[in-house]
Amino acid sequence: MRLRTALGATLAATALTAGLVGPAAASAGDASDGASARASFTVWATDVNVRDNPGDPGACDAFPSPGNCPVVAGQLQPNQSFEAVCQKQGQNVGGNPWWVYITRGDSRGYIASYYVDHPDNQLPGVPVCGS
């Protein structure tokens, strides 16, 4: 099962458990019981690409990198918050091999953890994708 399918199923199950319906059901932080709570972070850099690969999402999910995730689905600016869904290792950026699957509004995809405004390579409280 591809990661995105699993993520979608998890979001749908969380929404059903929380009793949510409609488009807001899949957005982070909507459940009052905390079941869908995710860690929120910001980036320190300008124009941080949110990367995706709609034509071959499995390649992006297997090893996040600009080559495997060539489509820029959005960009983040300094101090813009995003929700971290999960993280996994991919192409090393700035000495950091971790990438974070994020959501922000309609943007979903991977960003290099190097650009997250946090001192550690791996983000606390964010599960490893696929575990």
What is the mean predicted confidence (pLDDT) over 104-108? 90
User: Which residues, at least 6 apart from 40, have a Cβ–Cβ distance to it below 8 Å?
Assistant: 81, 82, 83, 84
Residue 122 falls in which region: left (phi positive, over 0), alpha (psi -120 to 50) or beta: beta
pTM, entire model: 0.73
Model confidence pLDDT, tens digit, residues 60-79: 999 999 999 999 999 999 99
